[in-house]
Amino acid sequence: MSSSSHCSLFSLFFFLLFHKISWAADTITATLSVKDGEGKTTIVSSNGTFELGFFSPGKSENRYVGIWYKNISVTTVVWVANRETPLNTTSGILKIIKPGILVLLNEDNATIWSTNTSRSVQNPIAQLLDSGNLVIKDAGDGNEEKNFLWQSFDYPTDTYLPGMKIGWNFVTGHETFLSSWKSSEDPATGEFKYSINRNGYPQNFLKRGSVVRYRSGPWNGFQFSGSLNSRQSPFYEIGFVFNPREAYFTNHLLQPVITKATLSWNGLLERTTWVDRTQRWVLYLNVPTDTCDIYKLCGAYGKCNIQTSPVCGCLDKFVPKNEADWLKADWSSGCERRTALSCNEGEGFLKYSGIKLPDTQSVWFNQTMTLEECKTRCLRNCSCMAYSNIEIRNGGTGCFMWFDELLDIRLVPNEGQDIYIRVAASELGKSFAPIHLLVISTLCFRTLCKVMIT
Ligand SMILES: *[C@@H]1O[C@H](CO)[C@@H](O)[C@H](O)[C@H]1NC(C)=O
Ligand SMILES: *[C@@H]1O[C@H](CO)[C@@H](O)[C@H](O)[C@H]1NC(C)=O
Ligand SMILES: *[C@@H]1O[C@H](CO)[C@@H](O)[C@H](O)[C@H]1NC(C)=O
Ligand SMILES: *[C@@H]1O[C@H](CO)[C@@H](O)[C@H](O)[C@H]1NC(C)=O
Ligand SMILES: *[C@@H]1O[C@H](CO)[C@@H](O)[C@H](O)[C@H]1NC(C)=O
Ligand SMILES: *[C@@H]1O[C@H](CO)[C@@H](O)[C@H](O)[C@H]1NC(C)=O
Ligand SMILES: *[C@@H]1O[C@H](CO)[C@@H](O)[C@H](O)[C@H]1NC(C)=O
């Protein structure tokens, strides 16, 4: 008798315990805050994927509010709230207050960090969604983006999660980008930034301070031009949107994998996937991928070919601008036309294939023009140096025109694009097979150039 009632008491106890744990709230409300220290609390997204609470990175004793994967054995923080303003005690508390902002308070009730909003609602709550997005909305509202007063996906730290949009909202002027941690134990903003550059036609840049280290190239309808690391994947789909209101890229999962991309404190954008069997994050790809991903390595009109040694050469019909530098493997001075342009009748364009399109920061573009219209327009203007389609889907659409030097070109044999570059009349219609010209241009900096050509 008594043992059986003990038993049912026990099961009731475990039942309640189980429910308390598995039903951990996913929301912060007026009456439910997230606390550090004794009686520490967290919130957990509804299907148990993400958790939000206080943590200390590595050996650091600083306290931060962050989001991490709940069900992964290696603690992996994907977002940090107060990255610049750590707490040095465990008496922090994260609260939601009117008109709809989250505030992080220290032991003196001073605000250490807070969110922002331009709207106000009656009953604000903060909810951690299964995507890893922390959103603030009115308690009665659904999870559509238009209802959010604020969302952490608009303020990422170093980690890209599927569904985030990296780029620009031109209407509000808000930019969403990744920025590295300062070190593996300090989430403060580090030196590296991965973002969309909005000059000319949008491209993704990885920068260290103000110095560009990597450029993705413009989106060509399938991937970023010639960026092997943006190839379609069976796990996720990359989308790119560019219109007068916004420019961003995004990823959607195609398979139930756990994947993220993190801009590490030492400047690599690393996409990893979680492998349950080995309990490890496995590298899927990283950016920059190889030497040819180094921005402008081969200078203007230079081309980087990862299959050759050295990797830098000049485009066909171009020669090194400074042979002495090139002989010392300093390619930054780039190349120039071996026959200068003179704006004569008869100048025209040579087609170069398998190319990662040059930097589009100062390109002129029109998204609806055809290649033929693009050519006509470029030919008319002596300072138009090259043209190409923007997208290669549907046989090619849109028009790019470059009016200055062509920078940061790499060869991508099976995935690159065609570009048409202006050359002097005498360079057109010669019957050299392209392969010979390639040999000549690679030999040029050995001063054999002139001999071979004449
Ligand atoms: C947690 O991970 C284990 C394997 O590591 C898995 O069997 C389980 O379904 C996961 N639970 C959730 C809620 O993701
Ligand atoms: C903790 O931080 C406060 C400011 O937030 C500062 O005044 C105090 O000196 C710090 N204490 C320690 C031990 O670093
Ligand atoms: C902080 O605020 C709480 C609740 O408003 C109050 O009970 C507590 O005394 C305050 N603490 C300090 C140090 O002001
Ligand atoms: C809050 O908004 C103001 C004005 O829009 C902006 O200057 C400020 O940086 C924002 N603060 C945060 C924490 O986003
Ligand atoms: C949780 O939800 C996310 C987003 O809907 C989904 O990708 C993920 O597979 C779900 N995980 C589990 C364990 O149900
Ligand atoms: C772009 O090209 C289309 C025709 O192909 C033309 O109607 C439109 O005016 C052009 N836009 C600009 C800004 O030149
Ligand atoms: C050629 O294009 C440049 C750059 O767009 C422009 O400044 C210049 O006026 C154009 N010249 C002619 C003759 O159209």
Q: What is the pLDDT of residues 366-409, one digit of tens each?
A: 999 999 999 999 999 999 999 999 999 989 999 999 999 999 99
pLDDT at res. 439: 40
Q: Fill in the amino acid letter for 248.
A: Y
Task: Please give the share of the chain, as a percent, with pLDDT higher than 90.
Answer: 84
Edge-to-edge strand ranges of the sheet holding 302-304: 312-314, 302-304, 409-411, 348-356, 417-423, 386-388, 399-402, 364-366
Q: Is the pLDDT of residue 117 over 50?
A: yes
What burial class does residue 273 get, using C-beta atoms within 10 Å of its C-beta: 0-12 exposed, 13-18 middle, 19+ buried?
A: middle
Question: What pLDDT, on a 0 to 100 scale, did the predictor assign at position 190?
Answer: 98
Q: Would you say the CB of residue 397 lies under 6 angstroms from ligand 6?
A: no
CA of 277 to the centre of ligand 1 (A): 11
**Ligand 4 geometric centre to CA of 441 (Å):** 53
Return the ligand 7 atom nearest residue 382 CA.
Answer: 1
403 lines ligand 7 (CB under 6 A): yes
pLDDT value at residue 228: 78
Q: Sorting pLDDT into bands at 50, 70 and 90, what band is 208?
A: very high
Residue 453 has pLDDT above 80, yes or no: no
Model confidence at 257, pLDDT cuts 50, 70, 90, reads very high
Expressed in angstroms and rounded, the spacing between residue 398 Cα and the centre of ligand 6 is 10
How many Å lie between the centroid of ligand 7 and the Cα of residue 342? Answer: 16
CA separation for the pair 237, 277 (Å, rounded): 25
Q: Which two tokens stand for residue 219?
A: 């989106």
Cα 152 to Cα 19, 81, 97, 320, 359: the distances in Å are 28, 8, 17, 49, 31
Strand order in the sheet with 280-287: 159-160, 259-263, 269-275, 280-287
- Of all protein residues, the one whose alpha carbon is nearest to atom 12 of ligand 5 is 47
pLDDT above 50: residue 194: yes
277-290 per-position pLDDT tens digit = 999 999 999 999 99
Question: For domain 21-292, which CATH number applies: 3.40.50.970, 3.50.30.10, 2.90.10.10, 3.20.20.70?
Answer: 2.90.10.10
**Segments making up each domain of the chain, as ranges:** 21-292, 293-423
* Residue 430 pLDDT class (50, 70, 90 cuts): low
Torsions phi, psi for 363 (to 5 deg): -75, 155
Nearest C-alpha neighbor of 319 from the set 401, 427, 428: 427
Q: 């991928």: which residue's tokens?
A: 289
Asked whether residue 19 carries a pLDDT value surpassing 60, the answer given is: no
For residue 271, pLDDT over 50 is answered with yes
| Rg value, the chain, Cα | 28
pLDDT at residue number 20: 43
Q: What's the mean per-residue pLDDT of the chain?
A: 90
What is the structure's pLDDT at 441? 43
Among all ligands shown, which has an atom nearest to the Cα of 109?
3
CA distance 183 to 191: 10
Q: Which residues contact 92 (CB under 8 A, 6 or more apart)?
A: 35, 36, 37, 54, 63, 65, 104, 105, 106, 112
Asked whether the beta carbons of 135 and 74 are under 8 A apart, the reply is no
Task: Return the pLDDT at 23.
Answer: 53
Ligand 6 site, residue 185, Cβ cutoff 6 A: no
Residue 294: burial class (beta carbons within 10 Å; 0-12, 13-18, 19+): middle
**Structure tokens given for 404:** 């200055």
Ligand 4 centroid to 116 CA: how many Å?
6
Query: Per mean pLDDT, which range of 117-126, 129-138, 192-201, 343-352 is the poorest?
Result: 343-352
What b/e readout covers 378-412, taking b as 16+ CB neighbours within 10 angstroms?
beeeeebbbbbbbbbeeebbbbbbbeebbbbbbbb
Which one of the ligands is nearest to 95 CA? Answer: 3
45 lines ligand 5 (CB under 6 A): no
Does residue 454's CB lie within 6 angstroms of at least one atom of ligand 3? no
Q: What is the reported pLDDT for 91?
A: 96
- If you average pLDDT over residues 229-236, what whole number do you get? 82
Q: Examine the pLDDT at 12 and tell me if it is beyond 50.
A: no
Q: Which residues of 179-216 are buried (b: 16+ CB within 10 A; e: fewer)?
A: bbbeeeebbbebebbbbbbeebbbbbbbbeeeebbbbb
Res 84 pLDDT > 50:
yes
Distance from the alpha carbon of residue 401 to the mean position of ligand 6, in angstroms: 13
Say what the pLDDT of residue 417 is. Answer: 94
Q: How far apart are CA 288 and CA 131, in angstroms?
A: 27
243 pLDDT exceeds 50? yes
By DSSP bridging, strand 302-304 and strand 409-411 are: parallel
pLDDT in tens, 357-370: 999 999 999 999 99
List phi, psi (to 5°) of 138: -80, 145
pLDDT on residue 7: 46
Task: Report residues whose beta carbon is within 6 angstroms of any ligand 1 atom.
Answer: 48, 71, 276
Separation of CA 71 and ligand 1 centre (Å) = 6
Q: What is the pLDDT of residues 133-192, one digit of tens each?
A: 999 999 999 999 999 999 999 999 999 999 999 999 999 999 999 999 999 999 999 999
More confident: 162 or 452: 162
Judge contact between 325 and 338, C-beta under 8 A: no
Q: Any idea which ligand is nearest the CA of 107?
A: 3
Does ligand 5 come within 6 angstroms of the Cβ of 130?
A: yes
Q: Could you report the per-residue pLDDT of 48-57, keeping only the tens digit for each? A: 999 999 999 9
Q: Judge residue 295's burial from the number of C-beta atoms within 10 Å of its C-beta, 0-12 exposed, 13-18 middle, 19 or more buried.
A: middle
Amino acid identity of residue 393, one-letter, is R
The residue among 446 and 37 whose pLDDT is bigger is 37
pLDDT of residue 413: 84
